[in-house]
Amino acid sequence: MKNKHNQQVKTSASNRFDMSSFEVSLQQLNDLLTDESGFYSWPTKHFHEVYPRIYVGNAFVATNVMRLKRLGITHILNAAEGNSFMHVNTSAEFYAGTGIIYHGIPASDTDHFDISVYFEEAADFIEKALAYKNKKGKVYVHCREGYSRSPTLVIAYLMLRQNMDVHTALAMIRQKREIGPNDGFLRQLCRLNQRLSSEGKLWNK
């Protein structure tokens, strides 16, 4: 059943396009994430370049400075900052002296965690990373496995800064890497999609 999240439809003259084309259901997004049999896939590599100069990956590479340097990474966005088993305990100090610019977001990979409060912050950091040194920056966005938290933040970036709708953004990343944001995160991306579409900010109408 489609969950409309109490969608408010504006009827002003400036917003006449049909909002129904923007209604996104959890099921639609999960269908993009699974194969024909309805199965999710675990990432086959430590990291993938999911968009030009944006890499999504796991903690193994995030803590390997030599590997990061070889990749030419200039910025790190840790979507799982913290010291529990489910988090990755790095910080700006961890990368001190490497030249890598760090930003941490303390997200937990649970359905009830509100990662949407970090969407703008993460999008700003990614945008600055890509603009770094005359558009030479490369950003490594990671959580523990590079499966739920980090791809969610990259999808939000593509929606907020590249004006993609949630289907396009999610499908683009899924083509490059096996991902599986939890249902709570997918719902928050659906809500972001509704807000941006009502504001006329998505190009894929």
Give the integer Cα–Cα distance in Å for 77 and 62. 9
Domain presence at residue 74:
yes
Is residue 148 included in any domain, yes or no?
yes
- Residue 142 resides in a domain: yes
Backbone angles phi, psi at 97, to 5 degrees: 85, -5
Mean pLDDT on 48-70: 98
Q: Tens of pLDDT along 193-205?
A: 999 999 888 875 4
Catalytic residue list: 143
Q: What are phi and psi of 76, to 5 degrees?
A: -120, 130
> 12: alpha, beta or left, given left = phi > 0 and alpha = psi -120 to 50?
beta
17 belongs to a structural domain: no
19 falls within a domain: no
Q: Rg of the chain over CA atoms, in angstroms?
A: 17
Asked whether residue 102 is assigned to any structural domain, the reply reads yes
CB 90 within 8 A of CB 81: yes
pLDDT at 57 over 70: yes
Which distant-in-sequence residues (6+ apart) come within 8 Å of 71 by Cβ? Answer: 55, 138, 140
What domain count does the chain have? Answer: 1
185, part of any domain: yes
Map residue 75 onto helix, strand or coil: strand
CA dist 117 → 38, 122, 157, 204, 205 (Å): 30, 10, 13, 24, 25
- Residue 86: inside a domain, yes or no? yes
Output the domain CATH number for residue 52: 3.90.190.10
pLDDT digits (tens, 9 = 90+) for 64-89: 999 999 999 999 999 999 999 999 99
**The whole model's pTM is what?**
0.87
Domain membership of residue 160 as a residue range: 26-31+43-198
